[in-house]
Structure 1
Amino acid sequence: MIEAVGITKRFPGLIANDRISFAVRPGEIHAIVGENGAGKSTLMKILAGLYEPDEGEIRLRGQPVRLRGPRHAAQLGIGMVHQHFMLIPRFTVTENVVLGSEPGSAARLDLVAARARVRELAQRYHLDIDPDAPVARLSVGQQQRVEILKVLYRGAEVLILDEPTAVLVPQEVEELFHHLRELRKQGKTVLFISHKLDEVLAIADRITVLRRGRVVGTLEAREATKPRLAEMMVGRPVLFDLEKPPAGDAAEGGPLLELADVTCREGTRTVLERVSLSVRPGEIYAIAGVEGNGQAELVQVITGLRVPDEGHIRLLGADATRWSVERRRAAGMAVIHEDRHRQALVLPMSIWENALLGRHRHRRWRRGPFFRPATIRSHVAREVARYDVRTPSLDVPVASLSGGNQQKLVLARELSQAPRIIVAAQPTRGLDVGAIEFVWGQLLEARARGLGVLLISADLEEILALADRIGVIARGRLVGELARSEATAEVLGRMMLAGGEAS
């Protein structure tokens, strides 16, 4: 159906795609997997007409084509569903679907014809969506169906889905897979890009693995296993079932972190409502929830970036409600921020400078008003080696590192300060399976040493692998709490969707 032949794409200082060749059969679900930076997104953007290759060609139905842009790709039957939805909340489903390809004359939109066409497509592909519903009122899973309808409306025969399950709970993932199987049954071809190997094995017919911009191989899904795919992706065996070391003594002393009836408002909107939780020594307490339900505000309140309107926060037994960020860090709080580029690192600065951020005022690094370069570099070199940050030099800008090595540097900086409590917000977002394995290992090791870990994650696999207790957040409220032994992905998913009811 669609084929890439010798595709090469270069950017300054980087070969993103290096002579990539693979073919997708008509009517199949073909998965593309690879570690962060393997070239998946670049390749998909080439197939969708967003980039032009420097070398090689694309063949559609056996014929070479030169895609002049996304609109031209859509005219040829190629459509892309992006990871971040491109919808206008105030518009209805119909208005979003037809935007840019409206039926009728230039002077008048034929909404009746548009609505009828959208309803017909939704029924034909069992997408179960009301054409007149405002998008703002739809769930995340329903909004994804609108994105799929948009490409079907434009006549797509090849659908490219970029990380389509990243923001879905397990029940919505199953619904998406049902829709994709229905599309396949009706002759559509699907390219499915993901880093979640369990999902790839559940939905794909064949799988192509990329590593460092090259194709490692293509194999039938029925012949693939998760360990084999992971090894093809990173070039070495990967451990998925990390052995949990014994927890530190949770009975020793009181909670390290406590929230009591914490409430935050933005104007007239309540973003956190009477949230209460505690994190004990030697445990990982995880917060599960669909993104956008108050997790970012919760991290801001705990780390000192905002003051709650109501309620109290206690850190190591002391009332820390109005403490500054600096005072909380000095008391023993380490923070792994959700967005390492915006919140944890200064990308143009060097590795050694980033490794010192947040504690650069400490007398250990200074002689009078001046830094002590030899002392600093010696310390940073030890931490870089300990946390396996792969870099040619301590002087290169941190922007030159891969996502996994950037996150290792953040871990090195935060954990080398002998913290008592770690706040880890989406700590493995955008990382490949090898880097995820490393981060998980560090959090479990901290737990074994008696530290408390508050883990905020949208990845239920991560939560179930690491957590001792799990709180579920929905619409800014903590709607339930479970011991790990009581939790499954399905139970957590139902609580996340229903706002606390697991049945």
Structure 2
Amino acid sequence: MSSPPVTAGGATEHPAVVLTGITKRFPGVVANSDIALTVRRGEVHALCGENGAGKSTLMKILYGMQQPDEGTIEVDGEQVRFKSPAEAIKAGIGMVHQHFMLADNLTVLENVVLGAESLHGIGRRARARVAELAGRTGLRVDPDVLIEQLGVADRQRVEILKVLYRGAKIIILDEPTAVLVPQEVDELFDTLRGMREQGFTFLFISHKLDEVRAIADSVTVIRRGTTVGTADPKSVTSRQLAEMMVGSELPSPETRDSTVTDRAVLTVAGLRLSAEDGSGRPVLDEIDLAVHAGEVVGIAGVEGNGQTELVEAIMGMRHADSGKVLLVDRDGKINDLTGQGTLKRREAGIGYVPEDRHRHGLLLTQSLWFNRILGFQTRKPTSTGRWLDVEGARADTRRIVERFDVRTPGIEVPAAALSGGNQQKLIVGRELSGEPVLLIASHPTRGVDVGAQALIWEQIKQARAEGLAVLLVSADLDELIGLSDTIKVMLRGRLVADADPATVTPEDLGSAMTGAGVAGGESE
């Protein structure tokens, strides 16, 4: 190992983190193999790689959530071995997870202090410390406001605030821009740059290579569990990074040829839904929407503006106060689904890729073939009508695994054993296998790598060309613009504008999503 650099004063300055020879094995798979990683103090160091490449396992090892089978960890020149996250936190390492760990019914202050009451109490000292740290993160909200009243960007700042409060100087950010619009990404990057100047060190996990090149000081690429190399983001292109990650060029969601027909498959008319808090406030306000065969209709909106409620009302997971949901099947028959439950809607021909695959898409403790049955328990090939067809489910799961490149030791393993990208490919494969007339795809590539992205995009494009109607909700504006034939902007429970994917920019769309302007189309 090379000697640490010598500072101007003659003292040595060790790297913030040095991982050497890290190896971690699970039954049937080597997640990390002889990984080397050096992170300098006061830098933003990006970690890139496919889903299943071993990034998350490596970060869990650094954060004390898992123990390495081989290898060493050094933090500020001292060799350490963390047995728990609590030990990592004591050493100054914090982690902001992709899925926020906040209690909606508690205030900002309560969320930050929760579990760390021994540091500054719960009164005046704690409040003063939170206020001081809030200035560093750019969080300009009342500490007594409830988390449920905050937007996504401010929630993320609260997560960063939590790890700072616990003394973190080295911060792991897992897919931090996944749910942010471009303006919010710019604000986050301004925050990171300001904190970097104050001596904080960041490990930045992301699949968005353009963003990695914009914020990172250096990039380490992991492929199939081992280190491929470290690159200077100022001198490497996104295409070159993608080739390092997956051995192929960066995929594009762009769709050139229109396949839109004049046959409306989904018609939503006058859909209205009130908030569940009893206030009577509409979370969906007179929604009118049509999706035609061969068309992808994209819904753009900052999270919390009704997209989730719209999807769940169409799926029958929430019961609308008023309005109609009509679906035309392959034979041209109009099905009024307004009063039907979710299973009936699925049987009528709706495929569903949920925004949270763990809550609504999979049973994580069950096998892959068992998960193939979900939503299809009354239909072939997983059912004979009265009885489940286990062999049919197994055979079709093998087909999905092969066609959708689901990387797995076998179909008997639990869904939890797969990486996030492979879980997503399994869900997309299952939902397209039922020959749906409508696919509702909610953030279909969130948190997946460029390889899985390309496959999912290609499958959606192919199904669209064969006449599938697609309702696409996505926070990835490049994906939304690239895949959609029409984009509708959702704000405070209403569809407020149309945008033309051929002319709109992500910045225009982001502006319309925040209510600042109309995105390349006519206001409704």
TM range (shorter): 0.7 to 0.9
Match of 1:52 among 60, 67, 90: 67
Matches within 5 A, 1:16-415: 16-89=31-104, 92-102=107-117, 109-111=122-124, 113-123=125-135, 125=136, 127-130=138-141, 132-136=143-147, 137-234=149-246, 236-242=247-253, 244-251=255-262, 253=263, 255-265=264-274, 266=276, 268-269=278-279, 270-316=282-328, 317-347=334-364, 351=368, 354-355=371-372, 357-359=374-376, 361-362=378-379, 384-390=401-407, 400-415=417-432
Q: 1:52 to 1:378 in 2, by over 3 A?
A: closer
CA shift, 1:466, in A, is 0.5
Q: 1:442 to 1:151 in 2, by over 3 A?
A: same
Q: Which moves more between the two structures, 21-30 or 409-418? A: 409-418
> Could you tell me how far apart the structure 2 residues matched to 1:87 and 1:345 are?
23
2:482 aligned residue: 465
CA shift, 1:340, in A, is 3.9
Q: Which moves more between the two structures, 465-474 or 405-414? A: 405-414
> Could you tell me how far apart the structure 1 residues matched to 2:417 and 2:91 are?
37
Amino acid at match of 1:258: T
CA shift, 1:105, in A, is 8.2
Q: 1:352 to 1:223 in 2, by over 3 A?
A: same
Q: 1:292 to 1:63 in 2, by over 3 A?
A: same
Q: Is the 8 A contact 1:15 1:213 kept in 2?
A: yes
2:464 aligned residue: 447
CA shift, 1:502, in A, is 5.9
CA shift, 1:289, in A, is 2.1
Q: Is the 8 A contact 1:248 1:451 kept in 2?
A: no
CA shift, 1:26, in A, is 1.6
CA shift, 1:390, in A, is 4.9
Secondary structure (helix, strand or coil) at the match of 2:497 reads strand
Secondary structure (helix, strand or coil) at the match of 2:514 reads helix
Q: 1:385 to 1:16 in 2, by over 3 A?
A: closer
Amino acid at match of 1:224: V
> Could you tell me how far apart the structure 2 residues matched to 1:478 and 1:90 are?
28
Structure 2 length-normalised TM: 0.83
- The alignment covers a number of residue pairs equal to 496
CA shift, 1:378, in A, is 6.4
Is the aligned partner of 1:432 residue 2:449? yes
Q: For 1:332-370, what per-residue CA distance to the aligned partner results, in whole angstroms no more than 9, with x for missing partners?
A: 333233344443445565555554554554578888967
> Could you tell me how far apart the structure 1 residues matched to 2:413 and 2:139 are?
52
Q: Is the 8 A contact 1:87 1:135 kept in 2?
A: no
> Could you tell me how far apart the structure 2 residues matched to 1:420 and 1:81 are?
39
CA shift, 1:208, in A, is 0.8
Is the aligned partner of 1:496 residue 2:513? yes
Amino acid at match of 1:189: T
CA shift, 1:133, in A, is 4.3
Amino acid at match of 1:33: C
Structure 1 length-normalised TM: 0.86
Q: For 1:226-277, what per-residue CA distance to the aligned partner results, in whole angstroms no more than 9, with x for missing partners?
A: 222222222x2044235525222523x3x11111111123252533222211
> Could you tell me how far apart the structure 2 residues matched to 1:353 and 1:122 are?
46
Q: For 1:407-448, what per-residue CA distance to the aligned partner results, in whole angstroms no more than 9, with x for missing partners?
A: 444334433443322221222233221111011011112222
Q: For 1:78-131, what per-residue CA distance to the aligned partner results, in whole angstroms no more than 9, with x for missing partners?
A: 22223333444555544544444458987xx550x44444434444x3625246
> Could you tell me how far apart the structure 2 residues matched to 1:126 and 1:405 are?
34
Q: Is the 8 A contact 1:119 1:130 kept in 2?
A: no
Gaps of 5+ in 2: 1-15, 329-333
Identity, % of aligned positions: 51
Q: Is the 8 A contact 2:17 2:40 kept in 1?
A: yes
Gaps of 5+ in 1: none
Match of 1:456 among 467, 470, 473: 473
Q: Is the 8 A contact 2:23 2:32 kept in 1?
A: yes
Amino acid at match of 2:269: A
CA shift, 1:389, in A, is 4.3
Q: For 1:267-300, what per-residue CA distance to the aligned partner results, in whole angstroms no more than 9, with x for missing partners?
A: 5253322221111222110112233433332222
